[in-house]
Amino acid sequence: MSRVLIVEDEEHLAAGLKLNLEAEGFVTAVEENGQAALERLTRGSDGFDVVLLDVMLPGLDGFEVVRRLRAAGKFVPVMLLTARSHTDDVLQGFEAGADDYLSKPFDLSILLARLQGLLRRKTWLRGSDEAGQEEGPAEFHFAGKEIDFGEQRLRWDGGEQPLTLMEATLLRYLVRHEGQTVSRKALLEKVWGVRQDTDTRTVDNFIVRLRRYIEADPSHPVHLQTVRGVGYRFVAAPDRSSQ
Ligand code: CA
């Protein structure tokens, strides 16, 4: 049974979400403002599987809540609920560390599908799909680094970097297609699960972040290569493949 924290200041919306999610078998809790949600999530004893986070909140807004949550080392999957799907809002949300977003108003069926998508990705990262089939190793080693997908962590000698669900999912997809060029459109479909409503700049934005984590010189990437006009390619051992 999955636990969902609903952060929404409009009482009737929060009550409606709670009612509908509980009817679908979720366990829910509600917070009405950003500060209270942040405190509850950083205290960390509730063990929520996913957070539904409204952007427009009194006090701390949703962007700030997710930013502070990530800064505190909390990597629970977060879905932002935005009043409109302006590209700037969407990008700002992903940049802050959100994993998905939904524009209000939305259909309950869409919300449920996206929530299940987030929860499935988490399972996929741990190394198995819904049917329990192995999806390949949960760790990957390259260039002195270890990616632990299940733990959502990148480790190297003397350091580590936690990854958001979306960062880890993108990295896993690229690693599993090592040496192949994948288009931005394919990444949006396979990683974000969206077909047309997200700007492909979201992908570029995430690639920039991943390069900061894995490249010795992020402005001259050797592992996460740009394929001009198409997309990206992950290469684990660039020296070896160029010989
Ligand atoms: Ca609101």
Q: Give the CATH number of the domain where residue 100 resides.
A: 3.40.50.2300
Domain of 101, in residue numbers: 3-125
* 14 CA distance to ligand 1 middle (Å): 10
Residue 171 in tokens? 């990295």
Three-state DSSP at 31 gives: strand
Q: Distance between CA atoms of 27 and 9, rounded to whole angstroms?
A: 19
Give the H/E segment covering residue 86. none
Same domain (yes/no): 120, 144: no
Q: Is residue 233 part of a domain?
A: yes
Cα dihedral sign, 97-100-104-108? negative
Tell how far the Cα of 9 is from the centroid of ligand 1, in angstroms.
Answer: 5
Cα 108 to averaged position of ligand 1 atoms, centre (Å)? 18
pLDDT, one tens digit for every residue, the chain (243 residues): 899 999 999 999 999 999 999 999 999 999 999 999 999 999 867 789 999 999 999 989 999 999 999 999 898 999 999 886 676 777 788 889 998 888 888 889 989 988 988 888 877 777 655 444 456 678 999 999 999 998 899 999 999 999 998 899 999 999 999 999 999 989 988 887 766 555 677 788 899 999 999 999 999 999 999 999 899 999 999 876 544
- Backbone dihedral angles phi then psi of residue 34, each to the nearest 5 degrees: -65, -40
Is residue 183 a part of any domain in this protein?
yes
Last residue of one domain, picked from the residues 104, 125, 146? 125
Centre of ligand 1 from the C-alpha of residue 83, in Å: 8
pTM of the model: 0.81
